[in-house]
Structure 1
Amino acid sequence: MADSAATISRPRVLSGMRPTGKLHLGNYMGALHNWVNLQNGGQYDCYFFIADWHALTTDYADPSNVLQNTKEVILDYLAAGLDPAQSVLFVQSHVPQHAELHLLLSMITSLGWLERVPSYKEQQENLVGKDLTTYGFLGYPLLQAADILIYQPKFVPVGQDQVAHVELTREVARRFNQYYKLDGRDVLPEPDSLLTPSPKLPGTDGRKMSKSYGNTILLSDPEPEVRRKLKTMVTDPARVRRTDPGDPDKCPVGDLHKVFSPHQTIEKVYAGCRTAGIGCIECKGWAADSLVQILNPIQQRRASYSDSDVQDVLKEGANRARARAEQTMVEVRAAMQLTPMPQAVR
């Protein structure tokens, strides 16, 4: 399906995720839910991808799970409500122009810019036992910049913790435009961060929901598994005994209610918890009820897609993404005065 003139006239947005396995509620509320709203609002030309090359920056020694994880993530994209008729959904490695632009941008990017990215030292400290002294790990923010700039988007929907990456992308685009012009104009527009709401979502142990902590509730977890995980969830430490009053504002289960439960349930939680009128087991059961209401339609959509459906979605998405990416690369190559690529090679 070719992009229509109406689609092209809308501001473009671009975002993606690394394929680290099935997605969880933290991924959903932190990104996917917002992406679906951007898509359904009709204001934006949406591109959402799976960053499989990025998975290799830390897991290069054992890539055995990347293919299966990519399949799981695209299923979760579709299950959450991303629609291939409204958004371009694709896998990063299916669009080789990402790698070409990354190479060209590496010629002008200072090492100091990459070394000061906040997550560079943080991940080196946190991912103990892995050799991260590789160019791929140092350069992953530049690959991320290429992922963005190849589509010349207006906005990149991110949470506050990702703003630094968008700022690096803007710096790279600015330097490129200083060195290279095409008919006197800039080729790579500087994208803006589109800050999206990301509510506090704790995992079952009270920490931030994360696969690395093993505390997640997956979008694909069946109802019995959701209820089992909720039963083990930590609560307000002040409630040692059933008769002790608690405070939902200090309780991870209370945080889940605030995000997923209807107003009437939240009122019952506050009244019952603060007076010890309800126990934590009952409160967790209400939270599970709310989560199941959210997850049921997601899981029904997931089950409706066959393997061939997924392959068709990714093939169509790759074709559309490659066509758009090549438009940018034609301009980049011309601005850098590189030899035009023969038509047969393209």
Structure 2
Amino acid sequence: MRVVKLLAILLVLGAALLAGGHHYWQSRLAAPIAIDEPTLYEVPRGAGYHRVIGELAADGVIADEWAFRLLTRLEPESVPQLRVGEYMLEPGMSGRELIGLLGSDRVVTYPLTIPEGWTFRQLRQALAEAAKLDHETAGLSDAEVMALLGREGEHPEGWFFPDTYRYHKGLSDLEILRQAHRRMETILEEVWAERVDDLTIETPYEALIMASLIERETGAPEERREIAGVFKRRMERGMRLQTDPTVIYGMGERYEGRITYADLREATPYNTYVIDGMPPTPIAMPGRAALEAAVNPLPGETLYFVARGDGTHHFSRSLREHNNAVNRYIRNR
């Protein structure tokens, strides 16, 4: 009987010690991490759970490394598959919450904005300067980039929708391009389906070219459809479009802020003072409003427009009226 009582006492003590040990272990996992302000932490590519725990302990973020290592043995289902990326650690966060965060999709992201009217060259420069991106396209030609996107042989200009895209550290710049390209394809398809019947343009790609001209000509929302209308009527009458942004695009990197009469007469594939119709490709990345204007031009009689100098334009029906407007807004200025 005495042996039985002793065994019973030992079992009770063992259970109590086990319960107490388990409680203490859980309390260490639930303890707040040791940071006083939001702290950026990165899970590097190829890092496993034990390596990350070791780094956090070495940095003083967690105090009881053993408790987190024990987690893989006693509660393996609680140990998430860590995801590569940057995470923002917050003061007061428990160790368990920290581990959960590092296995979640709540990575720190950064914005990359593509403004309406940018060229593909400007987009590539912005991607190259985005420090957190993986620059997979560095050193590649435009043709090579398009081939990687599955668009071999296509000219890149105009095919990337201007918007703000978010990315996390380590994402490829090619993925940003892929997202922007898909969006432009989708939106162009939607806009083309809503086109009016009497257009002079015949394909979605021609609509993309026209929208790029509209985008580069004005930033005033109320003018886009009227400019589209001017271009439509000029094409219907066999008149050249004579839009300065095509001259600038044809000049390429030679453009330094102004165009001369010699530039207007220079024969480039894009100079609409020289060529008939539209240029062979878009000259910029148009937004949705410019695309919508391209397929729904404003009816009217105007055939000319000139910049007032305040971001808007004066529209004219006749060459005489246009020349007067040029004298008023350009030559006098």
**Rg larger in structure:** 2
TM-score of the two chains, using structure 1 as the length reference: 0.20
TM-score of the two chains, using structure 2 as the length reference: 0.20
Which structure shows the bigger proportion of residues in helix conformation? 1
